[in-house]
A = this chain, B = another copy of it.
């Protein structure tokens, strides 16, 4: 369904969404609802797999834990990156083999490690002594990969230092893992969410390769490289086709690491973001004063009910209305709650039709990732985002 491998842009993506568009247009929803097109999830998985050679793809379940998505991917041979006991249970319940689920959170409850070990998981992430000790106590002999901090790249959403250890601690920690009876298998990192161009991976891969080769030179038999996530979603912009993006990343990896026996990738956003759209409703359109140049548009969904990634106006969602094509004007977009931080876009207002009014349907595109599971249980009494998989 992609038009071609080098020209996957927003316009092409629009054609891909015909099935979702039709379903949303013909359905009444009582509350904000995320509609997921399972065909697009499958297509995204296949597109990434086609570019990633022999790499094992572990879907980052946190991106969207809808059981139907997990079951679909398990059936296609996808593996899983789980952040918690609940995500592990979800994967196993939806048909994933325990050996195909990695426990990728470097911050695990000790009793969850024991649970995972008993459930048959064998691969765990760590970035600190205490985490290795917890794993050694509760999953003796387990395979370990060590997460490293990398210097910031040009990702849209660079990660903080929250995850990973400094690179000069890698060898001591790998040795410590072995001392504890664990099996240090490899390294992981995260290049940063929404890394828009494959070439941006190069400096990060250089940093990791230096550690990798130093470890092997010292006789630590690493055979697993987890390149993490960072594969982008378009959000209306122009992007390389995922297969060509993934193939370019794979080339950069191979140049630096040779043929890695066990290569892993953990895409989340790129698997589901453009496979979902949210049907929402305008609650109010107003001007604060007579000379205001912009209007305020209030939706029935906001930062606390599914659009958490608008924090800092980081993710810029495309918004469609039934009045598109009419004259537009700049709007500040906000959520329905009585919380003053529940504003989606203010620094960069959104152009919306001047005729927009309360009761109008809006469709928020590319919302398949990091929306439904972020929704609050009921802030201000607004229910969490509903999810429908078609």
A interface vs B, CB < 8 Å? 60-62, 65, 82-88, 90, 104-110, 127-131, 134, 149, 157, 159-166, 168-169, 193, 281, 283-290, 296, 298, 300, 304, 308, 311, 334, 336-343, 346, 357-359, 372-384
A381 x B86 contact (CB < 8 A): yes
Number of copies: 2
Pull 17 A–B residue pairs with CB atoms less than 8 Å apart, ordered by A.
A62-B338, A62-B339, A62-B379, A62-B380, A82-B381, A86-B382, A108-B283, A109-B281, A109-B283, A109-B300, A110-B359, A129-B286, A130-B284, A159-B340, A304-B374, A372-B377, A374-B379
Task: Give A99 Cβ to nearest chain B Cβ, in Å.
Answer: 20
Contacts of A130 in B (CB 8 A): 284-286, 357-358
Contact among B131, B290, B311, B374 with A286 in the assembled complex (CB-CB below 8 Å):
B131
Contact among B357, B373, B381, B382 with A61 in the assembled complex (CB-CB below 8 Å):
B381
Contacts of A87 in B (CB 8 A): 380-381
Closest to A284 in B: B107
Contact flag A338-B83 (CB < 8 Å), given A90-B381, A109-B300, A149-B288: yes
Contact flag A83-B337 (CB < 8 Å), given A165-B288, A343-B160, A358-B134: yes
Contacts of A60 in B (CB 8 A): 338
Contact flag A163-B107 (CB < 8 Å), given A134-B358, A358-B130, A373-B380: no
User: By CB atoms of chain B within 10 A, which of A88, A128, A157, A285 has the most?
Assistant: A128
Contacts of A84 in B (CB 8 A): 336, 380-382
Task: Give A341 Cβ to nearest chain B Cβ, in Å.
Answer: 7
Closest to A128 in B: B286
A105 x B162 contact (CB < 8 A): no
B61 x A169 contact (CB < 8 A): no
* A61 CA to B337 CA, complexed, in Å: 12
* A343 CA to B107 CA, complexed, in Å: 13
B378 x A165 contact (CB < 8 A): no
A65 x B105 contact (CB < 8 A): no
Task: Give A75 Cβ to nearest chain B Cβ, in Å.
Answer: 21
Other 13 A-B pairs with CB < 8 A, given A134-B284, A311-B341, A376-B376: A65-B381, A83-B381, A84-B382, A87-B380, A105-B336, A108-B284, A110-B358, A128-B285, A166-B289, A169-B290, A304-B308, A304-B374, A308-B376
* A338 CA to B190 CA, complexed, in Å: 11
B377 x A375 contact (CB < 8 A): yes
User: By CB atoms of chain B within 10 A, which of A84, A108, A131, A168 has the most?
Assistant: A84
User: By CB atoms of chain B within 10 A, which of A104, A166, A334, A373 has the most?
Assistant: A373
Contact flag A107-B298 (CB < 8 Å), given A127-B286, A160-B343: yes
